Amino acid sequence: MAYSKDYKIETKCIQAGYQPKNSEPRVVPIVQSTTYVYDSTEEVAAVFDDPTKSLIYSRFANPTVMAVEDKIAELEGGVGAMCTTSGQAATLLSILNICEVGDSFISLSEIYGGTVNLFAFTFKRMGIECIFVDKNASDEEINAAFKPNTRAVFGETIANPALSVLDIERFARLAHAHGVPLIVDNTFATPVLCRPFDFGADIIVHSTSKYMDGHAVQVGGVIVDSGNFNWANGKFPALTEPDESYHGLRYVESYGKLAYILKARMQLMRDFGTYPAAHSAFLLNLGLETLAVRMKQYCENALTVAKYLEAHDKVISVKYPGLEGNEDYELARKYLKGCSGVISFRIKGGKEAAIKFMNSLSMASNEVHVADIHTCVLHPASETHRQLTDEQLIACGITPDLVRFSVGLENVEDIIADIEQAMKKAF
């Protein structure tokens, strides 16, 4: 079977990553094996010398997982990808690959709560400092956050749960002016709605647990490398100088455009071992096959629900970048082909009404998840963000009356009817 790099994204979702040859299985096989067999010791030794040549052990490479990695790299327009056991593991390794003790990096402050914990507390204990900047800060203010030891800038295409849109070109320009890469978490947008590499981002991470999987059946993550960043500018000796743990290998010299992603695999994945099982990758691939079709429907359903809520007399305000009047509407038009299925809104009557409304929903499920085919709902103030004080909640835009609504793929009339009946019970 032939494959073309010129295929459109809908086609890539289905055809990329695995093209069976004569008499091979139609569907990507699940290679549930920890290890791989060789005829001779010399051959095993040769693979240890250069693990990019063949497979050794499923702690860092497996054929089923690699088919999915190739598909995701194709979807994002990157040169290579590496799957991980969770989105958190992807973010962790994306930073650790270029930061070590004594280094710092900059992150937008509107990011996923789990990522805030990792950046503000766990990295701090590891001697890596994260400096948070506001997305509306001026270029001057952001430039002032850079230090000689800054190694990256990090942001989310559509922030979870703030639902703000990242000005990718602007942050790529600021990062590049200081000789460091822009890392973008593209979880909510997926490559169907936005391809951050097209706007200057250098590295992409995803929680594949969300839309990519889409069915809430596997927790996973992925790092994708654009191959565009120049690691040999003097700031990244770990990529240009000999790696003692790999018989003096120099990643940039040996692997060129693949230096970053191969270092992540050969060094970090070898040592940390957060590689997914073949079966999880198989399930993720099923989700990816329908990603393009699903994303269009999520966006359509969510826009309809957002407009309905905006007109509702028990709703104070609705946050969805696809609504005219949203502060990021123009950024959304520039960067996104749709704004995903996630909406947040403030309900009249405070926390009590919010909880009563949520408890009264009969179809939408109350769960700590987002971005899957089932419509689901979450109360950030009493669930995901319950450790924060009232002042901290306000600072990150989470009021007690805020409801996060993840619109699924049920018929939108049924979704709205469910909201309607729950609103009646809540008031």
Ligand X SMILES: *Cc1c(COP(=O)(O)O)cnc(C)c1O
Binding site for ligand X (CB under 6 A): 86-88, 112, 114-115, 156, 160, 185, 187, 207, 209-210, 219, 221
- Looking at the DSSP bridge assignments, the partners of residue 342 are 406
Q: Which is nearer to ligand X, 87 or 227 (CB)?
A: 87
What is the distance in angstroms between the CA of the first residue and the CA of the last residue of the chain?
60
Query: Which runs of consecutive H residues, i.e. helices, occur in 39-86?
Result: 41-49, 63-76
Nearest residue (CB) to ligand X, 118 versus 353: 118
Token pair for 368 = 């700590």
- 312-327: string of b/e by CB count within 10 Å (b at 16+)? beebeebbbbbbeebe
Which residue in this structure is represented by tokens 């994708």? 224
Measured from the CB atom, the residue of 55 and 72 that comes closer to ligand X is 72
C-alpha to C-alpha distance for 167 and 61, rounded to whole angstroms = 34
**Nearest residue to 296 via CA among 336, 351, 324:** 336
Nearer to ligand X, 7 or 272 (CB): 272
β-pairing, 315-319 vs 342-347, is: antiparallel
How far apart, in whole angstroms, are the C-alpha atoms of residue 355 and residue 358?
5
Minimum distance of ligand X from residue 109's CB (angstroms): 14
Closest approach of ligand X to the CB of residue 160, in Å: 4
Q: Which residue's CB atom is positioned nearest to ligand X?
A: 87
Closer by beta carbon to ligand X, 51 or else 155:
155
Strand 365-366 with 315-319, pairing: unpaired
| Nearest-approach distance from CB 410 to ligand X, in angstroms | 21
> Looking at the chain, how many residues does it have?
427
- Of 101 and 368, nearer to ligand X (C-beta) is 368
The least CB distance from residue 156 to ligand X, in Å, is 5
277 DSSP assignment:
P
Quote the radius of gyration of the chain (alpha carbons, Å). 22
Separation between Cα atoms, residue 385 and residue 214, nearest integer Å? 24
Find the helix packing angle between 278-289 and 63-76, rounded to 10°: 30
CB distance 222 to 208 below 8 Å: yes
Least distance in angstroms from the C-beta of 164 to ligand X: 12
Task: List CB contacts of 136: < 8 A, sequence separation 6 or more.
Answer: none
Residues 6 or more apart whose CB falls under 8 angstroms from that of 256 comprise: none
| Closest distance of CB 112 from ligand X, Å | 4
**Least Å from the CB of residue 90 to ligand X:** 8
Which CB sits closer to ligand X, 97 or 207? 207
Shortest CB 114 distance to ligand X, Å: 5
Q: Which is nearer to ligand X, 118 or 180 (CB)?
A: 118
Nearest to 397, CA basis, from 384, 376, 380, 382 = 380
Smallest distance, ligand X to C-beta of residue 188, A: 6
Measured from the CB atom, the residue of 328 and 418 that comes closer to ligand X is 328
**Contact at 8 Å (CB) between 249 and 243?**
yes
